[in-house]
Amino acid sequence: MVRLLIRRILLGIVVTWVVSMMIFAATELLPGDVCHAVLGQGATEKSLESCRERLQLNQPMHTRYLQWLGRLATGELGTSLANDLQISDQIGARAWNTVRLAALTALIAVPLAVLLGLIAAIRADSSVDRGISIGTLCFISVPEFFTGVLLVYILAVQLRWMPAVANYRDLTRGDFLEVIEALALPIATLTFAVLAHMTRMTRTAVLNVMSSPYIEQAVLKGASRTRVIIRHALPNAVAPIVNVIALNLAYLVSGVVVVEAIFRIPGLGTLMVESVIYRDIPTVQAIGMLFCVTYVGFNLIADVMAIIANPRLRHPR
């Protein structure tokens, strides 16, 4: 078990390093001149040269990458080019909104997905199972921006039940009910986006276990299908379910760019969009690496949970 964990951690470090090279290279390939974007149309050649020297753009790409990676390893994210503020302070101010949105969505989506997956497995090949499968396929096929716009049109424009955009005052100084009301449509949009994957994986994992000999023995003893699935099949199907839940939780933190932009939530996704618009390259790189570390961290947690849930991995022969 310790060897497996060490291998997973080393693999996560390698993945993070590869992604850091990809993020740095992608930002370097963006068209246009960073200093032109920062200084504007009235910039002189002298000011442009001074800006390039200050940002170390005159140095080779590999040198700048190694310097950036070294600063990143020490926790120094640098200064924003758009407003000359510390990037860590901006991320800290925005991160709570993103984490809160992801946490509230997870509290609703994860139990609901597991419940729907169990219902589909218990009523396999029935009209209920087919209805859940068709519904989840529809959710998978529809992108988040379309779902968000549709919910805004129905619930905010036509019925006027919910606000179309998140009120900044409600997010920062409102009580719990005001926060829920402000985030109701974003939470619903993200729930529809992640619900389908977790539901289908729960159903598939449980039905795969149902063909095991100990399940057949439980059925022959007269146990009901519901009891067999919940008491015997579900505990042995935990590993793949935990993996897909962890991946979707990582998506909730790092994949909210579109949803935050639609509902004007001042989170990390909105900060990423604003940084791309203003060509604030250091901020884009920092947020990209934060999303990468989030994904790697949740994958590591999923691997640990899978090892804990599987006795064959905890006690190999």
Task: Report pLDDT for 32.
Answer: 67
Backbone angles phi, psi at 31, to 5 degrees: -70, 155
Does the reported pTM lie above 0.85?
A: no
> Is residue 177 scored above 80 in pLDDT?
no
Task: Report pLDDT for 112.
Answer: 92
Q: CB-based contacts of 96: which residues, under 8 Å, 6+ apart?
A: none
Q: Which pLDDT band, with edges at 50, 70 and 90, does 174 fall under?
A: low
Backbone angles phi, psi at 86, to 5 degrees: -65, 130
> Is residue 133 scored above 80 in pLDDT?
yes
The one-letter code for the residue type at 92 is: G
| Per-residue model confidence as pLDDT tens digits over 63-103 | 888 888 888 888 888 888 777 788 888 898 888 888 888 88
Cβ 145 vs Cβ 137: under 8 Å:
no
Distance CA 19, CA 27 (A): 12
Task: Report pLDDT for 17.
Answer: 92
Cβ 271 vs Cβ 91: under 8 Å:
yes
The one-letter code for the residue type at 86 is: Q
| Per-residue model confidence as pLDDT tens digits over 239-289 | 788 888 888 888 887 777 888 888 888 888 888 888 888 788 888 889 989
List the domain boundaries for the chain.
97-277
Quote the mean pLDDT of the chain: 82
| CATH class in words for 97-277 | mainly alpha
Q: Which pLDDT band, with edges at 50, 70 and 90, does 209 fall under?
A: confident
Task: Report pLDDT for 33.
Answer: 67
> Is residue 169 scored above 80 in pLDDT?
no
Kindly provide the b/e burial profile for residues 236-251, where b requires at least 16 CB atoms within 10 angstroms of the residue's own CB.
bbbbbbbbbbbbbbbb
Distance CA 266, CA 258 (A): 12
Distance CA 31, CA 43 (A): 18
Give the whole-number percent of the chain exceeding pLDDT 70.
91
